[in-house]
């Protein structure tokens, strides 16, 4: 009774906006698992739905005491349920222990493996998808369910008749676009889609637009889902939509990833394609969007999307007009150059790291960011379970992951909008920076914080991805997608923690290339060339300046710098920056689409 009251309170409180609470995770239940009569009576009390609620709950509690059998069931009592109920319980709870023998038993009773999939497994997956969409289950539980589903289907595979196929719902083609190696978001979306009964065709990472078009013609998907993490991926999504348009296709497209936004989708992507293009913020929303795109009322939903995008485009034009840019020549001439006094010069210092101890890095893992990636919100019980599972994965990763990196410390000067490095052999190397031009804001460039008298700055490239992919593939080969996703997300956190150990944030502004202070991803190429990163480590760059493996970071440390957002820039600054980067203007536009 107490567990039910705690769980009901937390469920409704979190939905109402509560963002912190102290709870005993052992005294919580999954909201959807609460017995319906008990749930109704507890909610009557918690939500004050009627004046007799407390009395009714007390009477119900007394009736439970008088029953011959105890209300609480033993941990394994579900094993005595009929086989269909056992399968559903194991699927919803994510328990893989007996699923293989249970589905084989169900097959023996029916003689039809496809019937077991259609009538037992798929409804259970759809239940999980529904609970997740309603906020009654969390992403870790969904991924565990997918693991159970894989084991169940594998056990049935020998019995499947070659002349029949498993019937799924709509078909979804998913891919990470060209030049982008990140697949964690795509993989999570694939799991959630499968849990909602969709047939998922995953094309992997770094997929060319032409390949997506060809595959679309081959399999005729109901929806195409495109994933990308870095800003150049936004341009690749445009290319995919242009290629689909040129091929005469009108398949709905869903775009997602850290750099995507409803505004960018409306202003930059949707206008190039005759079909519907929708931006999804997360895996749960992705499932709802796909459901709307394939529903009988899809035409109405698609028109709503187009109308909303027209509104966003109008708002964008108004916003651009209401927040004018300061004149670039003026703000550049008026820039205040910091001076910290001349420092003693020295030769450049290059340091290569291999097999850096994970024990020195683990203590700086940002667990809040790890939980956020799993979308568990403030569910204390789920966080505790997830943390314990992550520690188990981390134990295995210690034997598989190789922390590697290179740092280079150089004498540097701030000249105009450039940070100019002294390479120590009589040559200089400029790293061009961008300047904020928004009126009413500080119109600064990172170069302003590098002393004109000269000071030490550090450039770096670090990774926690060497060996990680092998470990992830091993997990997947064993049917453990849950561990694979945990490992991927842990590696991202380890990379950030590694940077904190090697280049502490307290030592100044540690700005990663591709982010608001230094939005140009192509500066990674300069760092890789200067430090010899590819020859010294297992890191490499894609054509869109994405680091492989993906669990890597690259940037610059300015000791007296601070973070800011460059924001939108003028055509004048764009031309000036392209000239300083010795790049074509159109190429620069691809690197910083959100700043144009």
For the annotated catalytic residues, the residue numbers are 180, 182, 233
First to last CA, the chain: 58
Cα gap 520→434, rounded to integer Å: 9
Question: HEC profile for 284-303?
Answer: HHHHHHHHHHHCCCHHHHHH
The Cα 146–Cα 155 span in angstroms is 14
Closest to 190 measured CA to CA, from 182, 200, 181, 203: 200
The two structure tokens encoding residue 342? 């001349």
Nearest to 451 by CA among 490, 401, 414: 414
At residue 472, the 3 state secondary structure works out as helix
CA-CA distance, 183 to 203, in Å (whole number)? 11
CA distances to 226, 252, 300 from 171, rounded to whole Å, are 14, 12, 21
Nearest to residue 264, comparing CAs of 226, 300, 294, 292? 226
User: How many other C-beta atoms can be found within 10 angstroms of the C-beta atom of residue 178?
Assistant: 25
| Contact between 433 and 417 (Cβ < 8 Å) | yes
Report whether 555 contacts 459 (CB < 8 A). Answer: yes
Residues 15 and 512: their CA atoms lie apart, in Å, by 35
3-class DSSP string for 129-166: HHHHHCCCCCHHHHHHHHHHHHHHHHHHHHHCCCCCCC
> How far is it, in rounded angstroms, from Cα 474 to Cα 77?
33
* Residue labelled with tokens 């004048």: 572
Cis peptide before 566 (omega within 30 of 0): no
Helix ranges (DSSP H) in 111-256: 113-116, 122-133, 139-156, 184-195, 209-219, 232-246
Nearest CA-CA partner of 526 in 414, 433, 455: 433
**Residue 382: count of CB within 10 angstroms of its CB:** 22
What is the rounded CA–CA span in Å between residue 198 and residue 200? 6
User: Which tokens belong to 371?
Assistant: 């939980």
Residue 317 main-chain phi, psi, to 5 deg: -65, -40
């Amino acid at each position: 009774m107490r567990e039910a009251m705690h769980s009901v309170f937390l469920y409704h409180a979190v939905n109402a906006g509560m963002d912190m609470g102290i709870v005993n995770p052992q005294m919580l239940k999954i909201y959807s698992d609460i017995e319906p009569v008990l749930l109704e009576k507890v909610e009557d009390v918690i939500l004050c739905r009627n004046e007799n609620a407390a009395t009714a709950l007390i009477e119900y509690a007394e009736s439970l005491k008088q029953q011959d059998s105890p209300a609480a069931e033993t941990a394994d009592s579900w094993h005595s349920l009929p086989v269909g109920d056992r399968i559903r319980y194991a699927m919803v709870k994510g328990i893989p222990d007996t699923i293989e023998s249970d589905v084989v038993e169900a097959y023996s009773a029916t003689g039809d493996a496809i019937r077991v999939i259609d009538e037992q497994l798929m409804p259970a997956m759809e239940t999980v998808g529904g609970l997740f969409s309603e906020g009654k289950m969390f992403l870790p539980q969904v991924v565990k369910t997918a693991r159970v589903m894989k084991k169940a289907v594998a056990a049935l595979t020998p019995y499947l008749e070659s002349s029949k196929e498993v019937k799924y719902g709509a078909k979804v083609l998913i891919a990470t676009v060209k030049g982008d190696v990140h697949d964690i978001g795509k993989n999570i979306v694939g799991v959630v889609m499968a849990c909602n009964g969709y047939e998922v065709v995953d094309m992997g990472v770094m997929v060319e637009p032409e390949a997506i078009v060809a595959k679309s013609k081959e399999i005729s998907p109901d929806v195409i889902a495109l994933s990308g993490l870095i800003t150049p991926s936004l341009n690749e999504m445009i290319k995919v939509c242009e290629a689909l348009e040129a091929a005469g296709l009108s398949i709905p497209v869903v775009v997602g990833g850290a750099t995507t936004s409803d505004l960018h989708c409306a202003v930059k992507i949707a206008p190039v394609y005759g079909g519907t293009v929708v931006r999804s913020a997360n895996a749960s929303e992705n499932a709802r969007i796909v459901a709307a795109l394939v529903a009988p009322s899809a035409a109405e939903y698609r028109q709503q999307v187009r109308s909303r995008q027209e509104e966003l485009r109008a708002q964008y034009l108004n916003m651009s007009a209401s927040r004018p840019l300061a004149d670039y020549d003026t703000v550049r001439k008026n820039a205040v150059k910091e001076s910290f006094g001349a420092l003693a010069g020295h030769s450049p210092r290059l340091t290569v790291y291999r097999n850096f101890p994970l024990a020195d890095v683990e203590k700086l893992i940002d667990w809040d960011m790890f939980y956020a990636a799993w979308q568990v919100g403030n569910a204390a019980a789920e966080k505790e379970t997830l943390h314990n599972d992550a520690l188990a994965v981390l134990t295995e990763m210690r034997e598989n992951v190789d922390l590697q990196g290179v740092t280079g410390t150089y004498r540097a000067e701030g000249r105009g909008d450039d940070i100019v490095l002294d390479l120590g052999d009589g040559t200089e190397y400029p790293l061009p920076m961008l300047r904020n031009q928004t009126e009413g804001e500080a119109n600064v460039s990172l170069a302003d914080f590098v002393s004109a008298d000269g000071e030490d700055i550090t450039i770096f490239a670090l990774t926690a991805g060497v060996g990680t992919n092998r470990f992830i593939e091993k997990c997947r080969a064993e049917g453990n997608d849950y561990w694979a996703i945990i490992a991927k997300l842990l590696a991202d956190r380890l990379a950030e923690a590694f940077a904190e150990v090697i280049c502490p944030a307290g030592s100044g502004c540690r700005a990663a290339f591709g982010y608001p202070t230094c939005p140009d991803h192509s500066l990674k190429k300069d760092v890789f060339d200067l430090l010899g990163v590819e020859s010294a480590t297992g890191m490499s760059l894609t054509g869109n300046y994405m680091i492989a493996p993906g669990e890597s970071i690259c940037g610059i440390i300015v000791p007296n710098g601070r973070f800011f957002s460059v924001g939108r820039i003028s055509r004048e600054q764009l031309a000036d920056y392209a000239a300083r980067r010795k790049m074509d203007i159109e190429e620069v536009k691809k690197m910083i689409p959100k700043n144009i």
